[in-house]
Chains A and B, each alone.
Chain A
């Protein structure tokens, strides 16, 4: 019972507050065109089986793997960060591109791109509306992973602030993966190509931040020459360090600004990709 009350007080209420803020921004701050496109896009996620399948896959993987393979139950410590959040971005490397792959490639395959882009709207209306819809799907996935939080609270007395920070950090990483997918899906009419390329890129972005990988590349024979610029670049945009900082419960503005800049850059790149496809 206590665990349930904790869940409601420390997770459900903040989630509702965040949702309310999002709805308020969408309703009062963003133009009607963004809202219209957002609504259509969100509806179409749930009009096809894809969203449900992804929900089941994500929740299935994240919960079972975390429960059984990461030793969360044997650990004795009710610290959710290490076993759970360390693995979550790995699943999202797959799941976020699967959510976002249809964003623009579907428009190109159906030919509706021609309708959408001849409507009296600015391209950013469409880009943002679509992106937000996919972001809400990812948000829903994270919200629905509440049973694990409940379990931890039932079994012990964890620091829920750290768990919340873990979710926030994970969500930002998911948003970055989604933004990368948005760019790639604007470049192809095939959802499969969009998925594969996005997964590969997200993997690089995620792995690129791993210290071991950078060292490995640098220590290879001649690696200094060949990989140095790449390692530097990937390290600079690697998501892992920012994720780790944020997930530790240090709500650093630097990291949040990094994530937001990354997303904004990708959405801008999406508009460039769309323009290039037209010309």
Chain B
């Protein structure tokens, strides 16, 4: 549905996007992650045809965004980062205006507006003027205009920004539901959001894609992925620690708390032994007759991966 090939964007001497490529198929929700100024919004603005690319090719459902601009844009629904609106219109008028420009036939205008209002819970403010809306409602009004023509492709720049926790939850559910039939790209700073609604995520830093995969694959790349966290008692902490260190499946043991008869620690797996580590530990505890009060495998965390791979870049 969305194909982006070797996308570059230069603003004068500054390189904002430096060779980004990805594809999003129908039924996929792609999460865009990255520090501020990484090039997420710039990339989205190029995909939606707002900014011309310096180099590269973007195709939306087979239509090139530059050569076949109008056909490509007709397939897209776009929520810009700041959720801009015409402040002198009412919510309903604004949505009707958007629907007309997005090519909804006159006979279906009212139905389309009603449906968008229902989907984004805007009924209470339907006849209210945009400049009297709260931030959450403004955001949802702009969201409503992006889905009003039931587009095949949705591009959402920080769709949950400025919403309260309940609204965030609603929007995530909405994205997930719509993702079943559309191709969606959305950017966010909130990593749980990626796990909650994305089928795939890419991390962008300094204009380049530095990680690409399903949320689980990305988590597995983080430093602590596959490590075993455990709390055991029945022996002196140091004794348990040395036993754990002897295991061939373990690489190192990081002690969190140690006492005369218990140990709380994180065991990092030896290379390639992540799957065998927890059975080995379990067997060890059984052999030594230790009491296991907690044993859990760390799946890795997105925020850890995020910090690891974007740290050096964002510090300078």
Contacts and interface: CB of A to CB of B under 8 A. Distances in A.
Interface in A18-53: 32-33, 36-37, 40, 43-44, 47-48
Interface stretch (B98-106, B170-178, B182-190, B192-200): B98-106
B88 A48 contact: yes
A101 to B, nearest CB: 16
A35 to B, nearest CB: 8
Chain A at the B interface: mostly helix, strand, loop or mixed?
Answer: helix
Interface of B: 45, 48-52, 69-71, 73-74, 76, 78, 80, 82, 84-89, 93, 97-98, 100-103, 142, 145
Given A40-B97, A44-B88, A111 B82 contact: yes
B101 A112 contact: no
A32 B85 CA distance: 21
B89 A44 contact: yes
B70 A118 contact: no
Interface size class of A (residues with CB under 8 A): 20 to 34
A56 B82 CA distance: 36
Given A118-B50, A120-B101, A120-B102, A40 B70 contact: no
B135 to A, nearest CB: 14
Contact of B101 (A33, A47, A275): A33
A257 interface: no
A253 B82 CA distance: 48
A121 interface: yes
A230 interface: no
A114 interface: yes
B101 A119 contact: yes
Given A113-B84, A120-B102, A122-B69, 20 more contacts: A33-B100, A36-B97, A37-B101, A40-B89, A40-B97, A43-B88, A44-B88, A48-B88, A110-B85, A111-B82, A112-B86, A114-B84, A115-B98, A118-B80, A119-B102, A120-B74, A120-B103, A121-B70, A278-B51, A278-B52
Contacts of A112: 84-86
B147 to A, nearest CB: 14
A144 interface: no
B88 A115 contact: no
A28 to B, nearest CB: 15
A216 interface: no
A113 B86 CA distance: 10
A110 B100 contact: no
B101 A118 contact: no
A33 B49 CA distance: 18
Contacts of A37: 101
Contacts of B102: 119-120
Contact of B78 (A36, A44, A115, A279): A115
Contact of A119 (B73, B84, B88): B73
Contacts of A47: 88-89
Interface in A200-250: none
Contacts of B142: 115
Contacts of B98: 115, 119
A267 B197 CA distance: 45
6 contacts: A36-B97, A40-B89, A111-B82, A113-B84, A120-B102, A278-B51
B70 A115 contact: no
A125 B145 CA distance: 19
A27 to B, nearest CB: 13
A204 to B, nearest CB: 31
B106 to A, nearest CB: 8
A111 B84 contact: yes
Interface string A89-103: 000000000000000
A117 interface: yes
Tell me which of A113, A114, A121, A278 has the highest count of chain B C-beta atoms within 10 A of its own C-beta. Answer: A114
A56 B73 CA distance: 42
Contact of A120 (B51, B70, B89): B70
A110 B52 contact: no
A114 B48 CA distance: 9
A118 to B, nearest CB: 4
Given A120-B70, A120-B103, A278-B52, A114 B86 contact: no
Contacts of A118: 48-50, 73, 76, 78, 80
B45 A114 contact: yes
Contacts of A44: 86, 88-89
A110 B87 contact: yes
B50 A117 contact: yes
B162 to A, nearest CB: 14
Contact of A279 (B52, B74, B85, B101): B52
Contacts of A117: 49-50
Interface string A242-279: 00000000000000000000000000000000010011
B50 A40 contact: no
Nearest to A35: B100
A279 B45 CA distance: 11
